[in-house]
Amino acid sequence: MVLKFTQSLDLDWRLYRHDIQGSAAHARMLGAAGLLTDGEVRQIEDGLGTVLREIESGALSPSERLEDVHMNIENRLTELLGPVGAKLHTGRSRNDQIAVTVRLYLRDRLLELRSALLALLAALLDRAEKHKDLIVPGYTHLQQAQPISLGHYWMAWFEAFSRDCGRLEFAGASLAECPLGSGALAGSTLPLDREATSRALGFDRPTRNSLDSVAQRDYMADYHHFASLFAVHAGRLSEDLVVYATQEFGWLKLPDSFCTGSSMMPQKKNPDVPELIRGKTGQVLGHMMDLLITLKGLPMTYDRDLQEDKRGLFASLDTVSGILEVLPPLIAGTDADGAAARAALEKGLSLALATDVAEHLVMKGVPFRDAHRKVGRLVRYCLDRDKALPDLTPGEWKEHLPEAGTDVAEILSMESAVARRKTYGGTAFGQVAFQIGQGKELLRGKEESLKSEKERLKNL
């Protein structure tokens, strides 16, 4: 009963490859330090290779009696090699062993996530390029506010997810230190070369404090911070896709392959994939809180509570990976209905161009607060008569807003409203093209950095 409760194989068996990787490096270091002979190092490396093949072929299944991935691998190695296999754990505790194993595993998973996240950035750039000249409603409070370029909208999400990419890179950088050699908590009396092990495993340096090495889970929290904000962004984007694809809005068109029909109503096209992405956001946030609450109040150094840190980590990694598997092709297949967007804008054009008129007055010397009040009264006049601002006659303009002048007609179009917003980062067509160019440059840099990191680790 107690063994079943304390075992961790349901969590850590997926770490077998990285546990073997760390063990092989540890054996080579022991050999260089004179704690193993050259022949013993070769035996251990060959034996670990045999164990790896047995696991991957299914010939070796984990035993709950042996509690965790580390003991299962070491037990099988000792069965194969006898006393030589039992020498592998020299100068090592399961505390520093799991710390390095999880780091190696997480490092590989974060590289996979970076590749997938860059694919999402590329899909957003593609949509922005295609839709940079298409005008759609922009919203605040989910109410029509001003016309914008749809390309500008896609680039807004590009900015959000590029920040997530930065957070993901930071999470990867937090894995740069190797804890192996810290022992249970206080280091070792043996002549271990921690620098050599660190280099062999592709880390920048060994950790600086053995107590902190086996106690801290900051690197996991850094991943969860990335994952949580990424999931929030993915959920908010999904909400937009769901809303803007409804018949009431109708100017975004989701690809059929990411939607399903109703079991009862044949006319329905349900946005299942974005709804599921939105629904999974809470799970990812919950996993972050799970870790932080576990860590809260734990004494130095290792405590068995930390065995559970991997449950939320692995679940979150799997969820985020799943989202990143479907989100890039979903975005790539999402299109727009320009006619529906224009119809929606024309319906609310009185409101959409009101700010343009107010700023037009400002350019003529009217204080903004006065301009805001005057244009507000004019909008009320239009609403009461079911008119749009471009429908007003010159006489009506002169009567209700004489400060506007006769040239006000030049700004009363959606194209003008978008094109005139030329401030840096604005929605003007030229600004959107500039943002896309910047985005492409940023993406190229991140792709080159990722390729370089993969090559570095491949050549270890």
Q: pLDDT tens digits for 183-218?
A: 999 999 999 999 999 999 999 999 999 999 999 999
Q: Are strands 177-178 and 205-206 parallel, antiparallel or unpaired?
A: parallel
Rounded to 10 deg, the angle between the 69-81 and 16-32 helix axes is 60
- The model's pLDDT over 249-279, given as tens digits with 9 standing for 90+, comes to 999 999 999 997 655 555 568 999 999 999 9
Token pair listed for 19: 């546990």
Q: What is the pLDDT of residue 260?
A: 79
Q: What is the pLDDT of residue 388?
A: 84
User: What residues does 226 pair with on adjacent strands?
Assistant: none
Q: Is 316 among the residues known to form the active site? A: no
The H or E element containing residue 56 is helix 38-57
Which member of 61, 257, 262, 449 is catalytic?
262
Query: What single-letter amino acid sits at 282?
Result: G
Q: What is the pLDDT of residue 144?
A: 87
Closest CA to 68 of 42, 94, 48: 94
CA-CA distances (angstroms) from residue 321 to 132, 171, 235, 271?
Answer: 29, 16, 14, 20
Sign of CA dihedral 47, 210, 171, 205: negative
The helix/strand count (H/E) of the chain reads as 20, 6
What domains are there in the chain, each with its CATH number?
Answer: 2-90 (1.10.275.10), 99-343+436-458 (1.20.200.10), 354-411 (1.10.40.30)
Torsion of CA 159, 160, 163, 165, to 10 degrees: -100
SS3 track for 293-336:
HHHCCCCCCCCHHHHHHHHHHHHHHHHHHHHHHHHHHHHHCCEE
Token pair listed for 212: 């902190």
Q: What is the pLDDT of residue 267?
A: 57
Q: What is the pLDDT of residue 390?
A: 87
User: In tens digits, what is the pLDDT along the chain, a chain of 460 residues?
Assistant: 888 898 999 889 999 999 999 999 999 999 999 999 999 999 999 999 999 999 999 999 999 999 999 999 999 999 999 999 999 999 999 999 999 999 999 999 999 999 999 999 999 999 999 999 999 999 999 988 889 999 999 999 999 999 999 999 999 999 999 999 999 999 999 999 999 999 999 999 999 999 999 999 999 999 999 999 999 999 999 999 999 999 999 999 999 999 976 555 555 689 999 999 999 999 999 999 999 999 999 999 999 999 999 999 999 999 999 999 999 999 999 999 999 998 888 776 656 788 899 999 999 999 999 999 999 999 899 889 888 888 899 999 999 999 999 899 889 888 999 999 999 999 999 999 999 999 999 999 999 999 999 999 999 8
pTM here is 0.94
**CB 145 within 8 Å of CB 55:** no
Q: What is the pLDDT of residue 145?
A: 85
Q: Is 287 among the residues known to form the active site? A: no
**Cα 165 from Cα 385, distance rounded (Å):** 50
Token pair 């990143």: residue: 324
**CB 47 within 8 Å of CB 85:** yes
Closest CA to 135 of 119, 147, 118: 147
Q: What is the pLDDT of residue 351?
A: 66
Which member of 141, 152, 316, 360 is catalytic?
141
Q: What is the DSSP string of 217-247?
A: -HHHHHHHHHHHHHHHHHHHHHHHHHHHTST
Q: What is the pLDDT of residue 262?
A: 58
**Cα 284 from Cα 227, distance rounded (Å):** 7
**CB 273 within 8 Å of CB 359:** no
